[in-house]
Structure formats: structure tokens, C-alpha cells
Structure 1
Amino acid sequence: MGDSISFIIIIITVLVSLLCWQKPTLMDKMTMNPYKINRRNEYWRFISSGFIHADFTHLFFNLFSFFFFGLQLENIFTVLFPEIGQLLFAIFYVTAIVAADLPTFFKQRKNPYFNSLGASGAVSAVIFAGILFFPTEKIYLFGILGIPGFIYAGLFTWYSIAMDRRGRDYVNHSAHLYGGLYGLVFVTLLYPKVWLTFVEQVKAMLW
């Protein structure tokens, strides 16, 4: 447990978020702001924004989801690739932060007022990657309603697209959507056989 990359990510995210709550100027420097990245070449914002959160509730829900799916996925990577599994998981998580925000960057790079922060995009990547391995395991919404993972993925995708088009709240739904997509692509390239077990598990459930 002490050597777990997932726990290291959780600890770093908590500490960095707590520090930024005390130092607003640091929070501003770490926030995902496409305009400043584009005009000032502040590329670190792509990664740093994934380790800061707006408030405790934002932090809790992201890390709560990551705690369960991250540990499970890290273990899978370690089993499949014993020598480099943890390194692959760390690379996956960090690149997921960037990949989830790239569409937002290109869309908002001329908007100086757009800001985004949080690990939601990377967490979505972890969740979708986990669903590929265990598509029929239930994901509980609000801790009450259990939905099989592959159905949850479909509903989540539909919801993210719909909310992104509406654009009436302050949530970066685009990052959630593309983070989830990145999780599917990364695992597919890393371990294509996952789709065989995915189909078998879904078929066994439905038939």
C-alpha cells in the first residue's frame, strides 16, 4: 500500500489543493487557462490544474472515485506488466490530465476568462479504463443506485455531451468526456485483448 502510485497521487493532490486554498496567487498560476497557455507558453498548467480543486467537496468526490478505480486499475497494470505496471499507471494518469483538457484548450485559447481545474478528466479516464476490464461491475450513483459499468459509460457519455452543448454551468464536461475516451484508447493500445473479455462479460450478463 505504501508503494502504491494511487496513494501517492491522492496524497499529492490533497496537499497541493490545501496549499492552493491558502495561497490564491499559486492557485491562479496552476489553473488551466487556455488563453495564458497560448499567449504566454505556460504549458505547466495542463498538468498542474489536475492537482488542484475549487473546494473540499470538489476534492472529495474526485478522490473518492479515484480511490476505488485507481487502486483496481493500478493492480491490473501491475499484473499485466509486472516490471513496469506502476510506471505505466503513473504515465497514464498524468497524460490523461493533459489529454482531457486539450479539446478545451483549442476551443477556449482566445478566451482570457475561461478557467478550469480539478482531476475530473483524469479520474474519468481511470473509470472508463476500469470499465473495460470489468464492464458488468456496478457503479453506484450517490452510493445508492447500482448501474453496470458499460451502461454507466453510455449514460455518462450522453450526459457529458448534452451538458457540454448547453454550457450553462461551470463544469468542464468536455474534460470528462475526452478523459473517458482517452482511458478507452490508452488501454486498447496497451492491451487490445481487453475487448475480448469485455464482450464475453457483457454477453454473459445479457444472455
Structure 2
Amino acid sequence: MATYRASPGFFEVPHAAVYAVMTATVLVSGLCFIQAGGSQAPSELLFRYGGMYSTALARHEYWRLFAYGFLHVSFLHLATNMLCLVLWGGHLENRVGPAYFLIIYVCAMVFGAIAGNIIHSTPYLTVGASGATSGILGALLSLWILGKLDVGFDFFAINIGLNIAFAISSARIDWGVHLGGFAAGLIACALLDLVEKANAYVLRCKFPEVVKVDLALLAGAAVLFLWTGQAQALAPGAPGWVAAIGFAGAGCAVVKLIDLVLSIKKGLAVVILALACANAACVMLGGRALASAACIARQPGGLLPLDNLLDTFCANPLLVSGLVAAAAIAVTLLVCSRELHRGIADVGFVATSLRAERSRRDGL
């Protein structure tokens, strides 16, 4: 991407997406350590909160493909993976932007878990962000092969060696997750490069990064909505593949609609306001799904703050969801305040610049 270039130095200062992923991982792992009462989490606790295990896919527990990447066995395990995230994540986010960084990270996490599940022939339990962080390194290698990353070969020799050294230091390392995540990151980055090249012919405008991140998060929520079977309420009796095609078609239509709106005067402000409303609607739908799934004959989880939050929500889910939806609107407008102001003040130059930036693009 034209506005993101990795520096030739060995270390690149992390940006917002890296900090967000790191914060979420540390919080989730930290809550497990607190509940365990020490710097290590027992297998029973990790299994309960989302550890990936041998029959998870057979039992359709797809949520574990994401949850396992935020859990860690010990503080040392967490620190090692967060060090890799800092060392490699800054380079990748600086080069491809936060939206594509998050897409690559999630793809590496998911396909790393799938690869590990395929390789294992005996019962196992896997947790950790190592598959996702290996995917970051794979994506950087993909950019280097494409000639779009300004670092030397020594960068990969040192960091791949560092990754192997960390892996060898633990006898319980899951090589399937590491290799699967690395391959997924490499392939996902190459595919995104092709997508960006195709976008020069399909889309008129370059999407601002905040718009791309918000769309990526909404797409993730839509996939979750589809996976949990909530889409059947909109089309009862329809096969799952029909719902998937319908969601994909609707997503493409939304992207093109946003592209057209961005190409008109004050279109950026309209898009930001529309995304704020979409985020609120997503929160309301999520609250409804949570109320029907988690508030009926629920069992205490053992972590008092989370139990108290769930008690408050279940007492009045509509009110709590409404308040959180209003907060989602406020946060969206706050995070996108610069783009919103730019769109409101637009007299035609913003749309022109967004179209001009798209015409200059040549892949990532």
C-alpha cells in the first residue's frame, strides 16, 4: 500500500492494531492466571475457556479456532509470544495497514489451528498466539519475495532462527500450529496483494484505513452470525451454503455501495455515520444472541467480575445492549473523528483524492 512502508531498520515501532491484539491477549491470559491463582493456568481451565483440542472441529466448536490464540499456559509462554508480536507486527502493520494486518493475523490463527488438528493423531490441547505470530513472519516473507519490503535477508535469518529457538526451548511446542500459521500468513498476504491489484479495476476509491478496519470487524461479526446459525432466522429452511452465498453477495454489494458513496461530495462523512449505525446494530444483534444463549439456565463461571457483568446483562439485556450500542456509536465517531471532520468539510477534493489514490495503486 502506497502510504505504508516498512523502514529498513531491524525494529519497527508497533501501531494501533498490534497494541489492540496485544492488549486483548494479555487481558484474556491474565484473567486465566488470576483465576488459577498463579503464573500458570491448568489444562482444565484452558480447555474450559477455549483451548483447541483433538475433536473440537468434529463437535462443531469452531469458536475455539479463535479463542485458543488468546490463551497461554504460563506467563513465560505469554511473554515469548508477545515479544514476537512486537518484533514482527510493527513491520507488517506499517506496511499493509491495520485492516490487512488483522485479517492476516486471524487467518494465521485459524489455519494454524486447523493444520495442527490435521497433523495430530493423538488427543491434545493447544493454546497460544504462536500460530498467529508465525503468520506475521510468513506475511513479511511474502512481501519480501514480492519485492515490497525493504529489509535484508538477515532479518529473516535472525527472526526465523529466533522463532525456532523459542520453539525448541519448549518440549511441548506444537509444530503443526507454527508451520500452518506461517504458511497461512504467507499465502494470505499474497492473496491480499492480488485483491489490491484487482481493486484498481473494480473499485473507484481508496478506502481510508478506519473504514477498512470497521468493515473487517463487521465482516467478522457477520461470519460469526452465520456460523452460530442466527442467519436461519432470516431465511428459515434455507441450506447453509445458500446463506453463505447470500452473505458474500451482500458483503460485495455493501463494499461497492461504500465505494460509490466515497466518490461523491461529503461521501466520507456519510460512510462514517453509516458505519457507526451499523456497529450499533451489530451490538444489538449480538446482545440478543447472547441473551438467548448465555442467560438461560447459565452456570457461574467462577470469575467474579465476569459473573457480575453477566448478571447485570441478564437482568435487563435490552437496556444494557442499548447502552453499549450507544457507546459503540460514540467510540466509532471518536476514533473516526479526523475522517468525519474531513468528510464534513469536503467540497469535492476528498472524493477526488480518494479516486486518485486508487488509480495509483499496484498491489499492497
**Does TM, scored on the shorter chain, surpass 0.5?**
yes
Q: Give the C-alpha shift of residue 153 in structure 1.
A: 7.2
Query: 1 or 2 for the larger relative contact order (CA 8 Å, sep ≥6)?
Result: 1
Mapped partners of 1:27, 1:14: distance in 2: 14
Change (3 A) 1:89 1:2: closer
Q: Number of residue pairs matched?
A: 165
Q: Give the C-alpha shift of residue 75 in structure 1.
A: 1.3
Q: Give the C-alpha shift of residue 22 in structure 1.
A: 3.2
Aligned AA for 1:169?
Answer: A
Aligned AA for 2:91?
Answer: Q
Computed over aligned residues only, the root mean square deviation of the Cα atoms, in angstroms, reads 2.9
Residue in 2 aligned with 1:125? 135
Point out the more displaced range, 117-126 or 28-37: 28-37
**Unpaired stretches in structure 2, ≥5 consecutive residues:** 1-12, 36-41, 195-364
Change (3 A) 1:47 1:188: same
Give the 3-state SS of the residue equivalent to 1:102 in structure 2: helix
For 1:53-202, list aligned pairs within 5 A. 53-78=72-97, 86-108=98-120, 111=122, 113-131=123-141, 132=144, 133-136=149-152, 148-152=154-158, 169-191=171-193
Q: Give the C-alpha shift of residue 154 in structure 1.
A: 7.2
Structure number, greater radius of gyration: 2
Change (3 A) 1:62 1:43: same
TM-score by structure 1 length? 0.69
Aligned AA for 2:16?
Answer: S
Give the 3-state SS of the residue equivalent to 1:93 in structure 2: helix
TM-score by structure 2 length? 0.41
Point out the more displaced range, 40-49 or 4-13: 40-49
**Stretches of 4+ moved more than 4 A in 1?**
152-157
Mapped partners of 2:125, 2:72: distance in 1: 12
Residue in 1 aligned with 2:66? 47
Q: Give the C-alpha shift of residue 155 in structure 1.
A: 5.9
Mapped partners of 1:35, 1:59: distance in 2: 25
Q: Percent identity?
A: 28
Mapped partners of 2:93, 2:83: distance in 1: 16
Aligned AA for 1:186?
Answer: A
Q: Is the 8 A contact 2:15 2:90 kept in 1?
A: no
Give the 3-state SS of the residue equivalent to 1:37 in structure 2: coil
Aligned AA for 2:181?
Answer: G
Q: Deviations over 1:40-79 (max 9, x none)?
A: 221111110001111111101110111121122111112x
Give the 3-state SS of the residue equivalent to 2:57 in structure 1: helix
